[in-house]
């Protein structure tokens, strides 16, 4: 009976789900992170053959020797860290030494990281100076690769050029050439457009270390994206030729956007408006008095009507009719002298019901729901502190849909009356500045910031929105015009049906063509309510594409082009910086060694007592029912009871 009671009690207890708590001993083996610089600068020296062959075997033997006592984690890095056991191919185009500590500190938080061993030349061209960042919290051992000997070199350091030029015009180019240990050498600097040489100059190096800037003007001939290459001739005994050339791109457009400013008299607001617009070379700005106008307004992309509603202007009616008929965008500038009767007859944007003959002094207050273009927080804060404009006093009543950029603030009262607003009337874009005194804004900008940048940006963004023709096509493609050689090429596409409802149930394809005429085909993937296409990094060059889609029995096609620029950071500096590595190693309690001292490094690491396994007790909970031995105890108790009863003659 006792055995049966004990067995039943144990089974009943298991139904309660009891746990048992115990402590287990855990051992953390020491981890060594081995980080290999995979950037191209490693093999742009006279030791390149060694690093591609014998060095790889020596490094593998070094890793195997450390595996006897440590857990090894291997990484490659250039612009970012990559955990892999693969051998380095030294093709990275960017070096970010600061990424090592950032990655290691996060990856091995609360783990037994014993040391970091970094194989690198100490050259970095992206990220922070690792000396001034928080380093790794363990000893840092540097294996100094590369060559610290300064060698003869002639390189294109940088090129300064405009991003756009107009067809038929000249555009300036500045080429900065750096010379190292080359005094007395003669060389040629040339610029090529494709295979055609468009400029050349013979030069002589006058000092061992120097920088020289060459300036020239080139003719913008073919519209579209044009690729140019600056080439420096090779010097005798020059080791690194890869930095003797550099590409730059110019987008040549065949026409400027024409802007006409109309007024019945000169005004300081017109002057500051014109000065801001001339900052953008894509605009051709002309000013005319209304009575002297002999130009055809239909030839312009935007017409600014400045203070033309102060009195009746018979000649203005025909101009307005042309603007509406041709869907030419307009920008109205109104002031406190505006005749409200004349303005309200326009039926544009809003009408003003006069309350008195007085005027308002109105500051700008930003409307955060404005959707047409973006202003930075700094720009908004500055504009809201501009002095007030003289505006019309009355009740403002909106006519149709308006997009208000800035409302009026009168004294400390924020109103719903618009100061700068936009609307669209039958596909004609219209902007309205309902205040006089823009010259004060520009002057204030210079007084506070010692430049006109924020005011000019406001005017340029306003005009850019108005002057750009709305894309009313059913099929649209968007992308950057320029990509880096290691960057993915990203496209977005939107497709609309004839009711201008966005759809994405048709297949969108693209044919991509390089400079040699080779073609590749791609298909966009639907994403949310549009399409996306991501293409892996492409070789350097200029590419054209044709994308098409068929919907409702109609085929829509879009053509475009973009460029892929070569990254030349690795060839700009090839002299190893072992002093930087020495400082990093000493700062962390590590050492600097050279590739022929790897056996010594193994001994240094194994001799350290602080690079050892760690042990700790870990509390664990386990359900008793999961313990297998308890099952056999229960079977044993039941078997023993059966045996005793059998033996005692109870059965």
Helix H or strand E segment including 648: helix 628-648
Q: Residue 253: which pLDDT band, with cuts at 50, 70 and 90?
A: confident
Long-range contacts for 199-206 (Cβ within 8 Å, ≥24 apart)?
Answer: 203/177, 205/154, 205/179
The verdict on 541 and 592 lying in the same domain is: no
In a domain? residue 158: yes
pLDDT (tens digit, 9 = 90+) per residue, 341-382? 888 888 899 999 987 767 889 999 999 999 888 898 999 999
Nearest to 434 by CA among 361, 540, 342: 361
Number of Cβ within a 10 Å radius of residue 485:
15
Q: Residue 164 sits in a domain of what CATH number?
A: 2.60.40.10
For residue 650, the model assigns a pLDDT of: 56
- Rounded Cα gap, residues 494 and 513, in angstroms: 22
Q: Are strands 482-484 and 329-334 parallel, antiparallel or unpaired?
A: unpaired
Q: Which residues of 446-470 are buried (b: 16+ CB within 10 A; e: fewer)?
A: eeeeeebebbbbbbebbbebbbeee
331 lies in the same domain as 445? yes
Q: Is 86 exposed, middle or buried (0-12, 13-18, 19+ CB in 10 A)?
A: exposed
Count the neighbouring beta carbons within 10 Å of the beta carbon of residue 562: 19
- Report whether pLDDT(233) > 90: yes
**Residues 169, 215 within the same domain:** yes
Lookup result for tokens 């908004």? 380
Does 393 fall in a domain?
yes
Across 542-554, average pLDDT:
91
Shared domain check, 295 and 237:
no
My answer on whether 488 and 449 are in the same domain is no
Q: What is the pLDDT of residue 242?
A: 83
Q: Tell me: do 438 and 480 sit in the same domain.
A: no
**Do 524 and 592 fall within a single domain?**
no
What the block records as the tokens of 92 is: 């990275």
Q: If DSSP codes are grouped into helix, strand and coil, which group holds residue 640?
A: helix
Question: Is residue 448 in some structural domain?
Answer: yes
Contact status, residue 328 vs residue 302, Cβ threshold 8 Å: yes
Write out the residue range of the structural domain in which residue 413 sits. 257-467
The better pLDDT of the pair 468, 507 is held by 507
Q: Residues 398, 320: one domain?
A: yes
Q: Where are the alpha helices (DSSP H) in 237-292?
A: 268-277
DSSP β-ladder status, 71-77 and 31-37: parallel
Q: Is the model's pTM score more than 0.75?
A: no
The pLDDT of residue 506 is: 92
CATH number for the domain spanning 526: value is 2.60.40.1930
Asked if residue 249 and residue 266 are part of one domain, the reply reads no
Q: What is the DSSP letter of 147?
A: B
Strand-pair partners of 209: 180
Q: Domain check: are 447 and 534 in the same one?
A: no
Please tell me the total count of domains within the chain.
5
Beta strand pairing call for 413-425 and 403-410 = antiparallel
Considering the domain architecture, whether residues 270 and 388 belong to the same structural domain is answered as yes
Cα–Cα dist 391/433, whole Å: 9
């Amino acid at each position: 009976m006792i055995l049966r009671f004990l067995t039943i009690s144990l089974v009943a207890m298991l139904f309660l789900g009891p746990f048992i708590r115990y402590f287990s001993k855990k051992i953390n083996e020491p981890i060594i992170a081995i980080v290999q610089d995979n950037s191209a600068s490693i093999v742009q020296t006279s030791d390149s053959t060694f690093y591609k062959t014998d060095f790889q075997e020596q490094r593998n033997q070094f890793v195997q020797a450390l595996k006897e006592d440590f857990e090894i984690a291997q990484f490659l890095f250039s612009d970012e860290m990559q955990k892999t056991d693969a051998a380095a191919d030294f093709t990275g185009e960017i070096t970010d030494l600061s990424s090592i500590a950032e990655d290691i500190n996060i990856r091995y938080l609360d783990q037994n990281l014993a040391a970091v061993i970094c194989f690198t030349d100490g050259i970095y061209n992206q990220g922070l100076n690792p000396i001034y960042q928080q380093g790794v919290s363990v000893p840092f051992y540097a294996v100094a690769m590369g060559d610290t000997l300064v060698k003869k070199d002639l390189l294109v350091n940088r090129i300064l050029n405009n991003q756009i030029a107009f067809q038929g015009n000249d555009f300036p180019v500045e080429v900065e050439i750096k010379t190292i240990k080359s005094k007395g050498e003669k060389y040629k600097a040339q610029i090529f457009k494709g295979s055609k040489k468009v400029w050349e100059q013979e030069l002589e190096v006058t000092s061992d270390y120097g920088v020289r800037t060459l300036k020239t003007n080139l003719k913008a001939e073919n519209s579209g994206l044009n690729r140019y290459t600056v080439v420096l001739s090779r010097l005798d005994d020059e080791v690194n030729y890869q930095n003797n050339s550099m590409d730059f791109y110019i987008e040549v457009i065949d026409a400027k956007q024409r802007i006409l400013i109309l007024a019945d008299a000169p005004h300081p607001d017109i002057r500051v408006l014109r000065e801001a617009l001339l900052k953008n070379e894509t605009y051709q700005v002309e000013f005319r008095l209304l009575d002297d106008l002999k130009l055809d307004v239909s030839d312009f992309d935007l017409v600014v009507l400045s203070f033309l509603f102060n009195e009746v202007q018979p000649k203005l009616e025909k101009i307005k009719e042309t603007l509406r008929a041709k869907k030419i965008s307009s920008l109205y500038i109104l002031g406190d002298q505006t005749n409200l009767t004349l303005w309200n007859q326009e039926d544009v944007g809003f009408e003003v019901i006069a309350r008195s003959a007085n005027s308002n002094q109105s500051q700008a207050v930003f409307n955060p729901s404005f959707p047409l273009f973006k202003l930075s927080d700094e720009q908004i804060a500055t504009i809201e502190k501009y002095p007030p404009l003289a505006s019309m006093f009355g009740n403002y009543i909106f006519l149709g849909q308006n997009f208000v950029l800035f409302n009026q603030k009168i004294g400390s009262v924020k109103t719903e009356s618009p100061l700068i607003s936009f609307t669209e009337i039958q596909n004609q874009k219209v902007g309205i500045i309902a205040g006089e005194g823009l010259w004060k804004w520009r002057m204030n900008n210079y007084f506070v910031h010692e430049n006109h940048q924020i005011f000019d940006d406001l005017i340029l963004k306003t005009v850019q929105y108005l002057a750009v023709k709305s894309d009313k096509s059913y099929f649209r493609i968007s992308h950057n015009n320029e990509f880096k050689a290691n960057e993915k090429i990203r496209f977005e596409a939107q497709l609309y049906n004839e009711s201008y409802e966005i759809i994405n149930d048709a297949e969108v394809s693209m044919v991509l063509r390089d400079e040699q005429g080779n073609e590749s085909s791609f298909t966009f993937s639907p994403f949310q309510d549009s399409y996306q296409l991501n293409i892996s990094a492409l070789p350097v060059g200029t590419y054209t594409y044709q994308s098409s889609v068929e919907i409702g029995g109609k085929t829509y096609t879009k053509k475009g082009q973009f460029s892929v620029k070569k990254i030349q950071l690795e060839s700009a500096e090839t002299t190893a910086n072992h002093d930087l590595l020495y400082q990093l190693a000493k700062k962390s309690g590590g050492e600097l060694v050279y590739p022929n001292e790897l056996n010594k490094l193994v001994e240094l690491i194994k001799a350290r007592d602080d690079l050892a396994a760690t042990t700790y007790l870990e509390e664990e909970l386990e359900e008793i029912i999961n313990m297998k031995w308890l099952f056999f105890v229960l079977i044993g108790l039941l078997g023993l009871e059966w045996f005793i009863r059998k033996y005692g003659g109870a059965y």
